[in-house]
Amino acid sequence: QQPVQSPQAVILREGEDAVINCSSSKALYSVHWYRQKHGEAPVFLMILLKGGEQKGHEKISASFNEKKQQSSLYLTASQLSYSGTYFCGTAKTSYDKVIFGPGTSLSVIP
């Protein structure tokens, strides 16, 4: 089942912060975050695993609440380069497929 992302779209000015949320109705093993810029392939940002392990890029932060089956991606001091569509993907077990949400469109303006 596809995870739910919120908001659907957000517009920020440079330097502002944003939070993108991802939630699932099922218990999760892992949450994955990717960013896709227009006309480009999705690029990996972070993986959050059940139990607290995180793997990702240093400048990106995220949280994973296992009990609530929710994850949030935190974008601080946004830059123009942060613009794109952010996808969260979830998996129920360690051998399950990754199902992605519909995406959150983020636009950073000067």
Residues from 49 through 108 that contact another protein (CB under 8 A) = 49, 55, 87, 89, 91, 93-103
| Sequence-separated (6 or more) residues with CB below 8 Å from residue 51 | none
Query: What is the SS3 assignment for 81?
Result: helix
Q: Residues 20, 53, 99, 21: what is their CA dihedral angle, to the nearest 10 degrees? A: -10
Taking CB under 8 A as the rule, which mask of x and - marks residues 32-51 in contact with another protein?
x-x-----xxxxx--x-x--
Min. distance of Cβ 98 from another protein in angstroms?
A: 6
The reply on whether position 29 binds another protein by CB under 8 A is yes
In 10 A of CB 12, how many CB atoms? 18
The pair phi, psi for residue 46, each rounded to 5°, is -165, 150
Smallest separation, CB 6 to another protein (Å) = 13
Residues in contact with another protein by the rule CB under 8 A:
2, 29-30, 32, 34, 40-44, 47, 49, 55, 87, 89, 91, 93-103
